[in-house]
Structure formats: structure tokens, C-alpha cells
Chains A and B, each alone.
Chain A
Amino acid sequence: AQSVTQLDSQVPVFEEAPVELRCNYSSSVSVYLFWYVQYPNQGLQLLLKYLSGSTLVKGINGFEAEFNKSQTSFHLRKPSVHISDTAEYFCAVSSNEKLTFGTGTRLTIIP
């Protein structure tokens, strides 16, 4: 079985400040890792993914994440956030074609 923990349900951040959204996972097998973003009343959009190779992965909208196998983490970061980054962010782990999501982190940008 696999699971994903997003410890922070809500994260308020001032505009142009850096942000880190935390994600930890557990799995007994090798996994692929993803971050998705969901804007209000929309589906999930892929931000970035880790399948193999470099542990630092870059995605869309200036986001990046680092895969840490020893700490079973895949934290999402952005050096400077914008109002348009206000959304729900979901971390997900995949093995054997099964995608398991965390409960999400609501990122609120304060002007």
C-alpha cells in the first residue's frame, strides 16, 4: 500500500515571498511522484513530475521540487509567489499505474 501526507492544509504567503509545500510519502516499492495544481472549479493540472534521474525537477509556473529518497519527501518550492498561484496543490505517488493523492494544501497569496 502507498500513502501521501501533506501536513499543511493551508499555507498563507505574502506576494513575492518564497514558499515550500511539504509532501511525504510511504511505499514498499519504487514510485513516481507528482505535484498537481487545481484552480477553483477546474480539474487537476500537472505541475511537475519525478520519474527518474535528477532529484531536482522543474515544472511550470516557476515551481520546482526535490525528491529525497532517504526522507521519503517531495517538497514543492517557488522562490517568489504571485497572486495567480492561489490554488489547491496536490502531491501524488504512483506505482503500478495506481495514483494516490494527498489531501491537498491550499496556497493563499496575501497582497
Chain B
Amino acid sequence: EAGVVQSPRYKIIEKKQPVAFWCNPISGHNTLYWYRQNLGQGPELLIRYENEEAVDDSQLPKDRFSAERLKGVDSTLKIQPAELGDSAVYLCASSLNYIQYFGAGTRLSVL
């Protein structure tokens, strides 16, 4: 069974540019999460979806970040415009029975 798939694995952009990350969760997992992991830190939740509904986006910086989960499967996280402080690893996870399974992440470098 395929795990959580994320793309791209790496992205380098200049500040003020837009960027988007894509996530395909494990088949059958209705809950999907986006996390941000800064260097030397644990992941921090940005947004949680139950099917296509965002049920917890309290930590998502809504002035520049947006996310969507069309048809309750794949999800996209977007940053526009990116700032230097957005450099981090963005992790996607999906869950079943209280256990979260993580993708390999997208490492974003903003120059």
C-alpha cells in the first residue's frame, strides 16, 4: 500500500514569489493534516481536514497561506507571497484510528 505522497520534495524560490505543495493521502484516510517543521523543531499543525472540510485552521497564517482539499482526497497548500521566514519543511499526514502517517515532506528554501 502506498504511503502519503508529497511533491515536490524540494523547492527553492525567491521571496515574494508564490509556491504550492501537493499531497496525496493514504487511500481511505478521511483526515488530512498539513504541518510546518522549522529547523531543529518538531512539526507544528497548520491545518486539519475532515474529508473536504477544514475543521482546524487556527494556526494557518491566512494572510498569505491557503489550502484546499478538493473531493476530500488530494490537498494543496499555497503560500503567496513567500517570505524568508517561510523556509521550512512542510509535512502532510493522513490518519486512521488516531494514528497519523506522514509523507516525506517538501523542503522549502526562500532566498
Contacts and interface: CB of A to CB of B under 8 A. Distances in A.
Contacts, number: 51
Interface stretch (B36-44, B64-72, B79-87): B36-44
Interface string A1-40: 0001000000000000000000000000000101010000
Contacts of A42: 104-105
Contact of B45 (A46, A98, A103): A98
B17 interface: no
15 contacts: A36-B102, A41-B104, A41-B107, A43-B104, A44-B91, A51-B98, A94-B100, A97-B98, A98-B45, A98-B48, A99-B45, A99-B100, A102-B42, A103-B40, A103-B41
A80 interface: no
A4 B105 CA distance: 22
Interface of B: 4, 6, 31, 33, 40-45, 48, 56, 91, 93, 95, 98-105, 107
Given A43-B102, A101-B42, 18 more contacts: A32-B98, A36-B102, A42-B104, A42-B105, A43-B4, A43-B104, A44-B102, A46-B100, A46-B101, A92-B42, A94-B100, A97-B56, A99-B33, A99-B100, A102-B42, A103-B40, A104-B40, A104-B42
Q: Is the interface of A mostly helix, strand, loop or mixed?
A: strand
Q: Which of B91, B93, B100 has the most CB of A within 10 A?
A: B100
Nearest to B98: A32
A68 interface: no
Interface of A: 4, 32, 34, 36, 41-46, 49, 51, 90, 92, 94, 97-99, 101-104
Contacts of B105: 42-43
Given A43-B102, A44-B91, A46-B99, A97 B42 contact: no
A99 B94 CA distance: 12
Contact of B103 (A32, A41, A43, A94): A43
A90 B56 contact: no
Nearest to B48: A97
Nearest to B4: A43
